[in-house]
């Protein structure tokens, strides 16, 4: 598999990725006898990669199981110098990192490896790798609380998936339960129980797939056996179809949608779905109604029935011409059109007559104009007190 050279060198123990980038930039790295530049890729299994003339050996894949104690970070580097999980693996020369994460205030199992492909599969929600936790909470868990945890709790990013819950202890002051999840949201169990108004006092991961915490004390680790590695590889390649299908149906029912129909058998015939050979089932015969005649058996449409319009409706004639409109006597006010198709008097003529009458009221026929009186009637203007105010300007 092709990988960037600085990543291959970092996995082989030549330092951090930044230090390995400097090795490539300085020209000290060659691939198959040729110098390389930053960003080049190579296959550590087939290519001859050398640093200062010495061949880089392909790093062997290693797998460890760690029981992380409390107040330890699930990371391989921390800028503040806090304690991290890689500090708990003395003597491990390979560059390993945790698969997934655990909160600093949580404890339990972590897989440490340098196998990136397996780590990506184990953490991908598609493969639904089961992880089991033991949680101790404040207060007494009721049956309603248990049912909500099983069916799912609404968080800010959506509803959680179906969970397996087993009550280990119930008391007035505290309760202890076992939770199995198939997804890995950030601080999921703590947030789920906080929605039910129960504070988590302690949280421990006790199982990852077939691996258990049995035999490992806090801070201890051990290498995985070949059988355990094969089990993890097989687990990361399989998907529990039954659980996924039931979850899809449950989500569809919760949102008011119809769940997808099952293929094959009578259900497929009723739904007119597809057969096993990929072809669709034939549609059942449907009797054509008189209202929607549809098509004939030859593929042509049925002829539409003749429809005669009643005489009272003035629509179109049978020859696709409009019926003649009844004669209407035009009034003098709105003369309309004459029989020849022209208006009796155009708007220009009427407008000219209107303007002429208006001019006649404003002036004389010889063109001289008379002043037009505007304002109040004749006589002096008086205020409410009776004083003459005509000489004032407002």
Q: Which residues are marked as active site?
A: 103
Bridge partners of residue 41, in order along the sequence: 4
Q: What is the rounded CA–CA span in Å between residue 394 and residue 386?
A: 17
Bridge partners of residue 287, in order along the sequence: none
Which H or E run includes 270? helix 265-270
Q: What region, left, alpha or beta, does residue 188 occupy, with left being phi > 0 and alpha being psi -120 to 50 degrees? A: alpha
* Residues in CB range of 297: below 8 A, 6 or more apart: none
Residue pointed to by tokens 């945890």: 149
* Residues in CB range of 323: below 8 A, 6 or more apart: 314, 315, 316, 317
Q: What single string gives the DSSP state of each residue in 308-343?
A: PPPTTS--B-TTS-BPPPPP-PPPSSS--B-TTSSB
Q: Give the pair of three-digit tokens for residue 25.
A: 């930039």
Q: What is the rounded CA–CA span in Å between residue 267 and residue 281?
A: 11
Q: What is the rounded CA–CA span in Å between residue 185 and residue 163?
A: 13
End-to-end Cα, the chain, rounded Å: 96
Do 45 and 61 contact (CB within 8 A), yes or no?
Answer: no
Do 345 and 354 contact (CB within 8 A), yes or no?
Answer: no
């Amino acid at each position: 598999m092709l990988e960037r050279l600085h990543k291959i060198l970092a996995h082989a123990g030549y330092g951090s990725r930044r230090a390995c980038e400097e090795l490539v930039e300085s020209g000290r790295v060659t691939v198959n006898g040729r110098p390389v530049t930053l960003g080049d890729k190579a296959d550590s299994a087939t290519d001859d990669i050398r640093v200062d003339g010495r061949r880089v050996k392909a790093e062997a894949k290693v797998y460890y199981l760690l029981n992380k104690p409390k107040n330890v970070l699930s990371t391989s580097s921390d800028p503040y110098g806090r304690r991290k999980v890689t500090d708990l693996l003395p003597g491990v020369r390979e560059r390993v990192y945790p698969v997934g994460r655990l909160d600093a205030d949580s404890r339990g199992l972590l897989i440490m490896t340098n196998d990136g492909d397996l780590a990506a599969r184990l953490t991908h929600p598609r493969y639904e790798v089961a992880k089991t936790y033991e949680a101790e909470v404040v207060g007494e868990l009721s049956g309603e609380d248990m049912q909500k945890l099983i069916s799912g709790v609404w968080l800010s990013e959506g509803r959680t998936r179906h969970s397996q819950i087993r009550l280990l202890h119930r008391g007035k002051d505290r309760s202890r339960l076992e939770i199995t999840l198939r997804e890995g949201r950030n601080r999921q169990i703590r947030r789920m129980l906080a929605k039910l108004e129960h504070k988590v006092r302690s949280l421990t991961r006790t199982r990852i797939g077939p691996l258990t915490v049995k035999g490992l004390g806090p801070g201890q680790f051990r290498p995985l056996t070949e059988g355990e590695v094969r089990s993890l590889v097989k687990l990361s390649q399989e998907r529990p179809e039954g659980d996924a299908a039931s979850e899809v149906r449950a989500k569809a029912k919760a949102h008011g949608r119809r769940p997808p129909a099952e293929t094959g058998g009578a259900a497929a015939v009723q739904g007119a779905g597809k057969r096993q050979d990929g072809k669709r089932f034939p549609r059942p015969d449907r009797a054509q109604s008189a209202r929607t005649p549809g098509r004939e058996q030859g593929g042509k449409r049925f002829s539409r029935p003749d429809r005669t319009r009643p005489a009272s409706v003035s629509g179109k004639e049978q020859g696709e011409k409009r019926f003649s409109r009844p004669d209407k006597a035009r009034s003098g006010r709105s003369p309309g059109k004459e029989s020849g198709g022209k208006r009796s008097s155009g708007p220009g003529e009427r407008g000219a007559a209107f303007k002429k009458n208006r001019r006649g009221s404003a002036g004389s026929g010889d063109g001289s104009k008379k002043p037009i009186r505007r304002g109040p009637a004749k006589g002096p203007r008086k205020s409410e007190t009776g004083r003459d105010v005509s000489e004032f300007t407002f």
